[in-house]
Structure formats: C-alpha cells, structure tokens
Amino acid sequence: MYKPRVLLFFLTLVLLPTCCFPATSRYVGAQASNTQPISHIEPEAVPGEYVITWQDDLSMSVGLADVQLSGIQVIDHIDAINTSIVTLPDFTTSQLQNTQTELDKFRNDPRVAAVEPNYYYKTLTSPNDPHIVDQWGWNAINAYAAWDITKGSSNVVIAVVDTGIQQDHPDLDSKILAGYDFVDGDTSPDDSVGHGTHVAGIAAAETDNQSFGAGACPLCTIMPIRVIEDRRGKLSDVVAGIIYAADNGAQVINLSLGGVEAVALENAINYAWGQGAFLACAAGNNGENKSFYPAAYAHCLSVAATDRNDTWALFSNYGEWVDMAAPGSSIYSTLTNNDYGSLIGTSMAAPHVAGIAGLLFSQGLTNSQIRGRLCTTADDIAGTGTYWQCGRLNASRAVEGHNTVNPFPYTVYLPLTLADQ
C-alpha cells in the first residue's frame, strides 16, 4: 500500500499536534467520548536544539568539525543513522544571530540531509472507566482461538518505546528484560505516567497467574524503553529509543506515539525494519484523515482504533495511509502502582497488533511476512477501504494463515538501507 509523504506542520496523535506522543485519547471520561472538536497547536521543540541528519558517515565525521568551529555545540550522536544533536549556546543576541546564520548554512550544505528542530513528543493518558474488568478486545480479534495454537515465545521480544514501564508490576514483572531510559540517561526505565505500563500490558501481560487477564502475546518478553517524560519527549530520544530496540534484539517495536514528519525519525524506522524488526504504530487520535508520523511511514504498520461495536472509533485518525484497525476504546490493562484501568486511544490499538506480531514471530515469520499476513487475514468490517485498507485485526486467522479476500492492493516491503531511500 502506498503511503503518501505529506509534511505536517502540527502534531496529531492522541494529544497535541507537533511533537510525538502516545496515542491515548485526549477525551476524558466515558461520556466525553468522540464528539469534541480538536484544536491544532504549533509544533513544540526544545529551545535551541536541532537534529542534523548527515548524508553518510563520512559527511558526519568531516562536517562535525565545521559545526564545532561555527560555535554550535554538539551534545550527542546517533551513529546508526548518521545523526547529530546540537544546541545553540547561550550567547548575546548578536552572537546568537551569527550562530543561527551558521546553522542555516548547514541546511544548504550538500553533506547534510536535514536540519530539524528537536521536536517534543507528548502524551495524554485518559482514564475512561477504571471499573471495567473485561477485556472485550480479545473476543473482537479472536485471540482465544489464536492462543489455542500459540501463546508466543519468551525468545520473542516486544520493545515498548514509551513513558517507561512499572517493571515490578505483578502482571509484568516476570517478563521484563533490560531496557534503557533515554530521558534520564540510565538503565532504569520506570514509568511515572502509566501510559507505557498500560501499553505493555495489552501487548504481553502475564497469563495463567490468577490475576488481571492476558496480553496479546502471553509468552513474549518486554523491553522497556523510556523516551517520554511526564507528557512529552524529544525527537532525539524517540529516535535513539528505536535504534536501541533494534540493536538489542527486539523483534517487535510498539510506537504508541506520534507527531510531525522528521527525516531522522524515518531513518530510525527504516533502520529498525532493516534489522528485521516489525513496527506497530498508532495512527493518532484527531479523528481526521491526515497523515501522522511515524505511523504514515512505509515501514510502520499504522493502526486505527475500533470500538465495542466493531466499527471505527470516532476519535481515531483514518484514511488510505492507515493499514488496519484494532480495538482501542475502553481497553482494560495494567497501570502503575500495581493498578489496572481502562484507557481509550490508538495507543491501545497498536499493542494489540504488536502482540499478535509477536505470536507470528514465534512461528518463524519475518517482519515482511508478518506485515503481509496481518493484512491478508484481517476481517473486512465496515470502514475497510475507507478508514483503513486491510480490515480489523484477526489474531486467529493470522496464526492459522487463513487469508481473507481483500480487494485492496497491498505491498510487502522488503528491508532497505538508508542509502535506498
């Protein structure tokens, strides 16, 4: 399926449009549901920080010397995708203007692919009904029949690139692998917000432990990667988190966040895909047909949300750029403080797909095969072809390999290198 490359000047996921954020809905309370208008906010970024994407590693190694000579400070590198994070020093007004001029020169430098603000990625988690104790989504996607065939494997790793995870949660603690906190720069990616913990529970919570319920891939393990602090995180941290997941053995990467288009972000997505990872990405919660990133990138499987009636959830983004749908309304899962609760949003839909992708990895499929399998086995519910292209996720058909008739052309993407872009 072709995904148009449209530049957005605002962020539009489950929260504000200009950064990237986990795709839980901004609607608070079951009654606030899906009718309120959504305002657009100009993209926010870290003041004075920029992300330079170089054409290749040689350009980066030579160009960095020129950057430093110009008075611009280099604060970090992401070597895997030839990217540097820089900051403008706290100069006087005239000095700052001169330094900004130097930065503008790099935008036209043939060694440079892009110079972008270090955008913020934000998240708004919205409790819908903390007393809901049924996981209706598993029935909707025929998960129980899928689990009769496979519950996955502990050798399959699902990376949750998000707000971190409560690693000692009783329904997650036996499944947590080593991860990283790119916000604080340490190896303790703990969750103070709850969003990442909720997403992790949907993807792969423990099962058969007389507690809670189950995750989509009951035996898969979880890699916690924290890139969002409170309700916003830097583009540079999101990119670093994706690279970390790919380099440390994650077969599945869940991205329940989103925002503006950025070259560095697309390069990170392509890098992870080239490493063999499958990426499930939330389509956004603005209830509109406008591309949202990273979901709209070719190597993300973009996921819209359905409600209890197995129809399009009105808060969910939609369009020909969206691949498929999964349950995203009133989804019950793990929360921080050993708690449980229900959230709504495409943030909740994406980990349904991520978990089922984990089941398919345990059956020996590749990321490209999984992408094709999920699409061709999806249920052709109302909205298919309009709100999304492939239908609503069907876990049982996916693990059985029983394809449905789908009238929409679908491209299976092969791994590519950054040079192929």
Identity of the residue numbered 164: G
CB-based contact 200:338 (threshold 8 Å):
no
CA distance readout (Å), 298 to 170, 340, 351, 413, 419 = 36, 34, 18, 8, 15
Is 70 part of the annotated catalytic residue set? no
> Of 25, 190, 195, 316, which is the active-site residue?
195
Transcribe 121-174 into DSSP letters. Answer: EE----B--TT----HHHHHTTHHHHHHH----TT-EEEEEEB---TT-TTTGG
Residue 162: active-site member: yes
Q: How far is CA 220 from CA 167, 244, 410, in A?
A: 15, 18, 28
Region 336-363 average pLDDT = 96
Tens digits of residue pLDDT in 198-216 = 999 999 999 877 777 789 9
Query: Which one has a higher pLDDT value, 419 or 294?
Result: 294
Domains along the sequence of the chain with CATH: 45-120 (3.30.70.80), 122-420 (3.40.50.200)
Question: Token digits for 37?
Answer: 């208008």
236: annotated active-site residue: no
Enter the tokens of residue 156: 């399959």
Catalytic residue among 33, 162, 237, 302: 162
What's the pLDDT tens digit per position in 96-109? 566 667 778 888 89
Q: What is the pLDDT of residue 186?
A: 97
* 96-110, 174-188, 200-214, 403-417: segment of lowest average pLDDT: 403-417
Within 13 Å, how many C-alpha atoms sit on residue 162's CB side? 38
Q: What helix, strand, coil percent values describe the chain, rounded to 5?
A: 30, 20, 50
Which position has the token pair 């004075």?
Answer: 48
The predicted structure's pLDDT at residue 22: 59
